[in-house]
Structure 1
């Protein structure tokens, strides 16, 4: 599975590991943070949490449209910096007043927008690495490695969030409410690592960043699918969407 894979796959996978680590670190304690810092009711905290997730999974649609016009690499770069500032704002302790609440909502908007630009377009870049005939048969195993890297980041994120909060409470004597900001700071630091990896190894995947010219070339080369093929693909997509919908509903309960 690992043999013959391009270096760019590991660079992009590690960059995504850092981003996912930060995302799941933040997500692991976010509802608890809303309750402890702002004193919100379960229903209100759940509404904010679910709305945020809705934006996270819906905005990649627009991120893809922008990437077709301006390039996948450019959108990934902009997205990761927007996410960084979102986590940075969350990591700043501003208390539990209305100003802090507004800043928190603004930070969520930044994180969801950055994720919309970053998440799907990085996966397209992974796929673009395997356009050449000699690498096409390695595309499936490449995505297995890519998602393995995602799960590694997600695996350690909740533990990291709890441990850093415990350390802040016992070593620095900060309150429970303020200790959540240290978990968000860890997410912020993980984005810095992702940015460093992305830029250090960018030369290995620059050819996969795409852009308007490449999108037009692909459209010009593509053959118009037959009506029966289109119908079969739409049915298959609907079946996948139905399964994925209920999976993520259960996952985030």
Structure 2
């Protein structure tokens, strides 16, 4: 323990703490709105479940897919410029999303088809948001030592989840006091403040300043080099199934709670369970599992992911409505597996990255999450509309299907580990 505290004092450069602090507020903004996005789209803007899922897929998919390119550009132009652009765009984008549901701005959208308009706003917002994570993770890679890198990624993940916990709590207070549409104004203000922090406080890491910047042509070549690594891409594609299982908590569970428990239930607080679990347990689990091989840590996460949805399936199989307490328990189980594997995953990618390509490789870390959002939003909306609505009354089928996706992911990762281990 004493050694850990000494590492906290001497093993991190100042930019590490500033970047992670900004990430906390960005995640606060993101998860505050993410917990209510599907309900905001369906119940407030009157889209159906499939349309709500499609719009969620557009935003969530792009905000995690574009870091592949945004990470390369951040490596080229520097993290300070990337952060400045990102927070400026996010502040505007979140305001515009919320304005679609605010009465004072109704004249802006009168007699307009809201689906393509909102799609354009979500794409704009996602472009800004895509620069955040590769820039933060790139900063972590350059502002830690070999001894503190693992702890650094655990701290990063801990602060991400602090934002993911505080954001939904604020969203619940705002929705309860002012209305669901005003949650987006809180997200906008949070990002505007971080834009100011970037301009006046954040300093480019010294290692970044000393790097030899590559041409845009070389950046494109670097991207292609990563894409050609078939083994690496297969690994990321299998991970996409895991993240589909994760994101369905944000698509399916809000619908289920609103339809079967109460539309006034604290959806945001329920969905923040995973974040609070990680806040409490991430650092201890990181210390306890640091010697577990990465493939084993990843398999723990996959198994727990499938188990959480099967528990929901078996409870509802007899027609019993799942209570909020049991939903909280299943999210807790999922999060224990998540925090076992996630920091190790980022550390693994950081070690793969050649010099000057830290943000590029960390950008590819979000390809599985992007695929999961691009497919998972529409997939979750469709299976819920087909089986889960009150009119159909078969939510257990929804939970079963998602659990089977988790089983498929675990089986594929098990085979992948066997093959890679045999060849290595």
Secondary structure of the 1:55 match is: helix
Cα displacement (A) at 1:13: 0.7
Once the two structures are superposed, the pairs formed by residues 163-174 of structure 1 within 5 Å of their partners are: 163-168=173-178
Q: Aligned pair 1:116/2:130, yes or no?
A: yes
- What's 1:172 paired with? none
Structure 1 residues 210 and 147 mapped into 2: Cα distance closer, same or farther (>3 Å)? farther
8 Å CA contact 2:83, 2:198 repeated in 1: no
Matched position secondary structure for 2:9: coil
CA distance in 2, matches of 1:73, 1:244: 30
Matches for 1:63-74 after TM superposition, within 5 Å: 63-74=70-81
Match of 1:197 in 2: 197
Q: Distance in 1 between matches of 2:194 and 2:236?
A: 30
Out of 92, 102, 118, the position equivalent to 1:104 is 118
Per the alignment, residue 183 of structure 2 pairs with 183
TM-score of the superposition, structure 1-length normalised?
0.78
Deviation at 1:210, TM superposition (A): 5.0
In the TM superposition, residue 241 of structure 1 has moved relative to its aligned partner by: 1.5
Q: Specify the alignment match of 2:45 in structure 1.
A: 38
Among 14, 22, 25, the residue aligned to 2:32: 25
Q: 1:89 aligns with which of 85, 90, 96?
A: 96
Report the counterpart of residue 57 of structure 1 in structure 2.
Answer: 64
Contact persistence 2:70–2:131 (CA under 8 A): yes
Is 2:83 the partner of 1:76? Answer: yes
**Superposed CA offset, 1:24-74 (max 9, x none):** 111111111111232111111111112222111111111123223322321
The answer as to whether partners of 2:84 and 2:199 remain within 8 angstroms in 1 is: no
Report the CA distance shift for 1:210/1:252 in structure 2 as closer, same or farther (over 3 A): farther
The secondary structure found in structure 2 opposite 1:82 is: helix
Tell me the TM-score normalized by structure 2. 0.48
Cα distance, 1:234 vs. partner?
A: 5.5
- Of structures 1 and 2, the one scoring higher in RCO (CA 8 A, sep 6+) is 1
Name whichever of 206-215 and 107-116 sits farther off.
206-215
Match of 2:387 in 1: none
> What is the aligned partner in structure 1 of residue 171 from structure 2?
161
In 1, Cα distance between equivalents of 2:44 and 2:91:
22
Query: Any unmatched runs of 5+ in structure 2?
Result: 219-225, 249-424
Q: For 1:128-139, list aligned pairs within 5 A.
A: 128-130=142-144, 135-139=145-149
1:151 corresponding residue in structure 2? 161
Change (3 A) 1:197 1:72: closer
Residue ranges of structure 1 left out of the alignment (5+ in a row): 169-178, 220-229
Q: Aligned partners of 1:191 and 1:209: how far apart in 2? A: 24
Task: Name the SS of the counterpart of 1:252 in structure 2.
Answer: helix
Indicate the larger mover: 159-168 or 19-28: 159-168
Q: Are 2:58 and 2:122, in contact at CA under 8 Å, matched by a contact in 1? A: no
Query: Does the aligned pair in 1 maintain the 2:40–2:180 contact within 8 Å?
Result: yes
- Structure 1 residue 206: Cα displacement: 4.5
8 A contact 2:80–2:202 mirrored in 1: no
Q: When the two structures are aligned, how many residues end up with a matched partner?
A: 223
Confirm whether residue 3 of structure 1 aligns to residue 13 of structure 2.
Answer: no
